[in-house]
Structure 1
């Protein structure tokens, strides 16, 4: 439940519930004593100008009860992990083994699309958008300020660097700075993992062209994501970072400083000597794939018989079992359906999917059955 305290005599309470893939909002109000501004106005310091720090600063200001100061140690916001590795919004679970994660992802994806505009998380657009929002919300944003110490000023106040007084301080440094506890609540464990990504430039596409992103979830698989940090320059090509489910993570450590020591060893020499030799370009392969041309990209195996010849158009590997059973039925003349001179199996894949495989194909730009990539690339090459 999210409780909104205000200077009215009613308090509104909203409860969000996920059911059947939909979000239901239930609200009610209850009478409360009216509070003066002096009673509830609090001074809040937030340390760290990434996704969490900036978003929390905005939401606190929107409640109208807080003066918020956001401290960023670097020269701009989103220059840490949030601006390099935190640019994905998952529409589906990243790790489906966690039931809680599965549930939350669905809720957050819907909420995120309501709160933020599309493509907010690409390069300088992210920083400029949040700086504009922070300014409009009257958040006091301070750059190049390193918070070295937080201590008690009195029983009810905190002091930062022996000079600034606040009611509360919120640490949004990814728990990498101002760490005071080695033992976490509820016996949870935290690890620190130095990560690196390979940085690429698209030889063809500029920042004015659409970017793309590709990821295979939940395993030792690759991921490529757009990374733009210089969009103010003209004629700049799109840039991407390539990560991997395993090899991006260089180690797992109990303390931030152990991870920092490992991170500091990542340099050009490491990449040249350790990373590049792991792989060698050997050449290329070619083959021909046969697929049914359908509107919905049908990819199962279909089997039929004509003149005692049984034809199998392969699908995915798991479809070998369907083909196996249908071949035996055709050989034994069991459960046979006829279409002209063709025989196929009743209840088989062709029978089950006849409407889909015969559906008239519409113009779908994402359909692969019309791709002519060789001609496209060859034309681009000749034009250059």
Structure 2
């Protein structure tokens, strides 16, 4: 069975999944076009919030998520060493009570075991490190990934060298299946591809009633999330990160958006205070986000977040000074364990990607290769199936199906309408 050596592939969405998949498919010799509705790539969640390269402890209640993070991390670091930023320290701490007075969701012993799933994990004394109200704390060799202009510049160069055709400021209105081809309809024209990949972050262009077709009844929520931006007044040679687990707790992460030797920009997020609302559609979330302003964030949200971070890191505000905020709408799975890996599936020749963590782009691309192979196998297979009946592509069922299905009308002068025997008896 021989497949086409070179496919024409259209990818919608210029974030981490779209750009990584584009490069991987170009390595295999396929012709790739990438469509992005914004003026540049990495303008959405990937370019603003995709910071942490997880080793796993952020998800103490989902072993599957931890495993997927660790499995993809080494491959990711090997693939994109220019974008990986190592830390002076990456501290995971276990809080006594969260912002709502709730106790932790996992025991201290369970959290310790989760952190020590990473061989490099080192136990630290919270008080000696300047922290309070913590049961325990651990330092891991967990890096960050670059975002913003540094990320965009890197990928535009890579995509250009690879020969990926970029369509920027190009809004895709629909994806339509044309049998063995798929059509991308944009605001400036139509494009036909052998394979189309929807990497819009599960925000648009999904098949109707897709939830009813999936093998698992998944729940999706679109969360309006913001991050408070701070400047480090005493930056070190390497950045740091600090997160308190497991519940409504604060998190401090570096923002690596340039090649400056010393990084000063950080964001502060919180498990409850910076996740502002959840909606059943991306559009509703964007509408809410547009209604936010500096007064609401500065007077209502910032005080709560700073009260929380100083509860665990009393001298945080002595070192970090507030600069502003940024926000976005994130599609998330609704699961008890906070499962956060990516999901890929194909329907009617179009492959869809539900985003997980940044390093999960490695896994998503690998799964897409398998799905593409399956699409080609079905398209070019020497056996066809219809309602459970199989027949070869060389059979008349396949080659002459239209002619076979074209039936004579009743009463038409046609041999199949002859009733010679009945006519003889009628005449006698």
TM-score normalised by the shorter chain: which range applies? 0.5 to 0.7
For residues 211 and 41 of structure 1, the distance between their equivalents in structure 2, rounded to whole angstroms, comes to 43
Structure 2 counterparts to residues 256-295 of structure 1, below 5 A: 256-276=282-302, 278=304
Aligned to 1:125: 150
Aligned to 2:240: 212
2:27 equivalent to 1:62: yes
For residues 7 and 167 of structure 2, the distance between their equivalents in structure 1, rounded to whole angstroms, comes to 18
Task: Name the Cα RMSD after superposition.
Answer: 2.8
Using the TM superposition, name which of 119-128 and 166-175 deviates more. Answer: 119-128
Aligned to 1:91: 55
Query: What is the number of residues matched between the two proteins?
Result: 243
2:81 equivalent to 1:51: no
Aligned to 1:175: 202
In structure 2, do the counterparts of structure 1 residues 102 and 219 end up closer, same or farther at CA, with 3 Å as the change threshold? same
Aligned to 1:199: 229
2:44 equivalent to 1:80: yes
2:192 equivalent to 1:165: yes
Structure 2 counterparts to residues 202-241 of structure 1, below 5 A: 202-205=232-235, 209-229=237-257, 231=258, 238-241=264-267
For residues 209 and 291 of structure 2, the distance between their equivalents in structure 1, rounded to whole angstroms, comes to 25
The Cα shift of 1:55 comes to 0.8
Question: If the length of structure 1 is used for normalisation, what is the TM-score?
Answer: 0.57
The Cα shift of 1:51 comes to 0.8
Gaps (5+ residues) in structure 2? Answer: 86-144, 312-428
The Cα shift of 1:73 comes to 1.6
CA deviation map 1:283-327 (0-9, x unaligned): x99xxxxxxxxxxxxxxxxxxxxxxxxxxxxxxxxxxxxxxxxxx
Aligned to 2:420: none
In structure 2, do the counterparts of structure 1 residues 280 and 45 end up closer, same or farther at CA, with 3 Å as the change threshold? closer
CA deviation map 1:39-96 (0-9, x unaligned): 24221111111111111111111122x2111111222211110111111101224212
For residues 224 and 163 of structure 1, the distance between their equivalents in structure 2, rounded to whole angstroms, comes to 44
The Cα shift of 1:215 comes to 2.0
For residues 78 and 59 of structure 1, the distance between their equivalents in structure 2, rounded to whole angstroms, comes to 17
Secondary structure at the counterpart of residue 195 of structure 1: strand
Gaps (5+ residues) in structure 1? Answer: 1-32, 286-384
Question: If the length of structure 2 is used for normalisation, what is the TM-score?
Answer: 0.51
The Cα shift of 1:272 comes to 3.3
Contact 1:153–1:159 under 8 Å retained in 2:
no
The Cα shift of 1:152 comes to 4.1
For residues 280 and 116 of structure 1, the distance between their equivalents in structure 2, rounded to whole angstroms, comes to 34
The Cα shift of 1:123 comes to 3.7
The Cα shift of 1:167 comes to 1.7
For residues 285 and 229 of structure 2, the distance between their equivalents in structure 1, rounded to whole angstroms, comes to 21
In structure 2, do the counterparts of structure 1 residues 175 and 199 end up closer, same or farther at CA, with 3 Å as the change threshold? same
The Cα shift of 1:197 comes to 0.6
The Cα shift of 1:237 comes to 6.8
Secondary structure at the counterpart of residue 91 of structure 1: coil
1:115 paired residue among 52, 71, 79? 79
In structure 2, do the counterparts of structure 1 residues 157 and 92 end up closer, same or farther at CA, with 3 Å as the change threshold? closer
Aligned to 2:64: 100
Secondary structure at the counterpart of residue 37 of structure 2: coil
Higher RCO (CA < 8 A, seq sep 6+): 2
The Cα shift of 1:168 comes to 2.0
Secondary structure at the counterpart of residue 75 of structure 2: helix
In structure 2, do the counterparts of structure 1 residues 156 and 124 end up closer, same or farther at CA, with 3 Å as the change threshold? closer
The Cα shift of 1:249 comes to 0.9
For residues 73 and 306 of structure 2, the distance between their equivalents in structure 1, rounded to whole angstroms, comes to 39
